[in-house]
Amino acid sequence: MIALTRRYRFPAAHVLRSPALSDADNERVYGKCANPAGHGHDYGLEISVAGDVDPATGQVFARDRLDALVGERVIARFGHALLNEDPAFGACVPTAENIALAIESELAPAIAAERPGAHLLRVRLEETRKNSFETGEAR
């Protein structure tokens, strides 16, 4: 297996409150993240793409194309935004887990369509230096 990883970052705001929980339960579950006024993070994002190495370019995936896909589909959409207002989080709370899953489902088909033989291997989202979240194949 060979995979390419590129690192990105974007700032975003969110409020962690579930409509299925009472105010008291929201504050118990999410603590200070439940502040209705919101808060935000500089998210670090690592996108890993696996596949064969193209003999002509020596690359698993073209860097500029990966940057363009992540730029258009993730950073332009989630960067400098209140995530709760995005349709991806209409039915779920924009926890880092759900953000990572939303990014995975947004990018996986686009990456496969861009280069047959390549696929999204992993999404790793750093919410803070202490907390990070991964979907896909473990390292």
Partner 1 sequence: MPQVRLTRAVEFSTSLRYWNPDLGEAENRERFGRKANRHGHNYRLEVTLVGEPDPVTGMVIDLKDLQDVIDREVMVRFDHRDLNRDTPYFDKEPPTPENLARVIFRLLHAALPSGLLHGIRLFEDADTSVELSGDSA
Binding site for partner 1 (CB under 8 A): 1-8, 48, 53, 55-60, 63, 139
Q: How far is the CB of 72 from partner 1 (least distance, A)?
A: 18
Nearer to partner 1, 6 or 73 (CB): 6
Q: What is the dihedral of CA 32, 129, 49, 1, to 10 degrees?
A: -120
Q: Which of 89, 91, 99 lies closest to 126 in space, CA to CA?
A: 99
Rounded Cα–Cα distance for residues 112 and 36 (Å) = 38
- Smallest separation (angstroms) from partner 1 to the CB of 1: 5
Tokens encoding 5: 């990883």
Closer to partner 1 by Cβ: residue 4 or 15: 4
- Of the candidates 33, 97, 114, 134, the residue annotated as catalytic is 33
Q: What's the order of all strands across the beta sheet hosting 132-136? A: 39-51, 118-126, 132-136
Spot the catalytic one: 39, 80, 92, 137: 80
Sequence-distant (6+) residues with CB within 8 A of 108 are 119, 120
Q: Which residue is catalytic, options 14, 106, 126, 127?
A: 127
Is 127 in the active site? yes
Residue 85 or 137: the one with the smaller Cβ distance to partner 1 is 137
Q: Indicate if 27 belongs to the active site.
A: no
Q: Could you list the active site residues?
A: 33, 80, 127
